[in-house]
Amino acid sequence: MPGLPLIIDCDPGVDDAVALLLALAAPEALDVLAITTVAGNVGGALTARNACLVRELAGRPEVPVFAGLDRPLVRAPVAADHFHGESGLGDLPVRAPARGPETAGAVDHLVQTLRSRPAGDVTLAVTGPMTNLAAAMREAPDIVARIRQVVAMGGARREGGNITASAEYNIHADPHAAEIVARSGVDLVLLGLDVTHQVTATPPRRARLKGLDSPQARAVGQLLAFSARTEAEIGLGGPPPMHDPCVVLWLLAPDLFRLRPCHLAIETESPLTLGHTAVEFRLSAGRPQTALWGVEADADGAFDQVCDLLGRYG
């Protein structure tokens, strides 16, 4: 059976890079049609360059990269280069990629792909601010019904925020985009800090990667070591959460996660809580289900999957 047709919309980003390497390791399960990039952790030129470098590292030069929007829909850009390094790829060596992004932009590509493929065929994995997807939905509302599912990393309920007291970075960085997606009626799975903080790269888990002898596994080890240092210095102090990889892991092994139906609303006004995800489990006629929210993850099982996927390289 062919893999799930998938577009990965991302802002690499240390953990986005890990997510890409995992997704590109499983072509029989995930048919990555394209990678689209957006400004987020670092600027748009860098996230596009980084996606091109990661597809080369994965040995998947045929996967096209489309560069997307350079700034959020409404608010001013919020970078997270303190967590991802100036380049966005921690301390991995960077250079100009052998092949750059395609000439078409990400938003046009999303619209065109969703219109040209059969309805309900394409899944979107979103691991950055939702700017590209929201812009595509705004420009071409007909695409909403054509998307199979959006699986995104974003938001926080039980855990509180990681960029402000109450907001998670991806949603805070473009709350207006997240609101468009949340209200669109698209089939939405949201994996926020409540689950990604459970899937951490502890020292024993990172040590397992040392047994895998491939450039890709070594790069993941280096990226996670970088995140471990930044989490200790400027983050919450624990082992680094595998935020974006959770999206890929859920697509490959949904049983690793427990989700609950919820009504989702995004704070777009308050300077104090901008980007807060109001996740309501008490559903009613006036507050219908609009998303599935990740509440629990099997971290050991998730890391077994990570090792299994990385073991396919080399």
Q: Which residue ranges make up the site for ligand BDR (CB under 6 A)?
A: 13, 15-16, 41, 80, 83, 127-128, 153, 162, 168-170, 243-244
Output 111 or 134, the one with its CB closest to ligand BDR: 134
Q: Where are the alpha helices (DSSP H) in 117-238?
A: 131-139, 169-173, 175-183, 193-196, 203-209, 215-234
Dist CA 161 CA 171 (whole Å):
10
Among 207, 173, 34, 167, which Cα is nearest to 109's?
Answer: 34
**Which position among 37, 47, 87, 127 is part of the footprint of Ca ion (CB under 5 A)?**
127
Q: Is 298 helix (H, G, I), strand (E, B) or coil?
A: coil
DSSP-derived secondary structure letter, 275: T
Pairing type for strands 65-67 and 291-297 reads: unpaired
Token match 């989700």: residue? 259
Output 231 or 244, the one with its CB closest to Ca ion: 244
Q: Residue of minimal CB distance from ligand BDR?
A: 169
C-beta of 80: minimal distance to ligand BDR in Å? 4
Dist CA 314 CA 309 (whole Å):
11
C-beta of 116: minimal distance to Ca ion in Å? 27
Applying CB under 5 A, the span of 6-14, 179-187, 260-268, 304-312 interacting with Ca ion comes to: 6-14
Degrees, nearest 5: CA angle 4-224-173: 70
Within 8 A by CB and 6+ apart from 19, the residues are: 8, 10, 125, 127, 244, 245, 247, 248
C-beta of 277: minimal distance to ligand BDR in Å? 12
Phi then psi for residue 25, to 5 deg, are: -85, -10
Pick from Ca ion, ligand BDR, none: which does 168 bind, CB < 5 to 8 A by kind? ligand BDR
C-beta of 224: minimal distance to ligand BDR in Å? 13
C-beta of 85: minimal distance to ligand BDR in Å? 12
Phi then psi for residue 97, to 5 deg, are: -70, 160
Tokens of 140: 């071409």
Tokens of 194: 């409540």
**Residue 128 lies near Ca ion (rule: CB under 5 A):** yes
Output 47 or 146, the one with its CB closest to Ca ion: 47
Output 10 or 299, the one with its CB closest to Ca ion: 10
**Residue 13 lies near Ca ion (rule: CB under 5 A):** yes
Output 111 or 182, the one with its CB closest to ligand BDR: 182
Dist CA 88 CA 244 (whole Å):
14
Q: Which residue among 197, 243, 263, 276 is the active-site one?
A: 243
C-beta of 186: minimal distance to ligand BDR in Å? 19
Pick from ligand BDR, Ca ion, none: which does 9 bind, CB < 5 to 8 A by kind? none
Active site residue 243: yes
Output 128 or 221, the one with its CB closest to Ca ion: 128
**Residue 192 lies near Ca ion (rule: CB under 5 A):** no
Per the document, the length of the chain is 314
Any idea which residues carry the catalytic annotation? 243
Binding site for Ca ion (CB under 5 A): 11, 13, 16, 127-128, 244
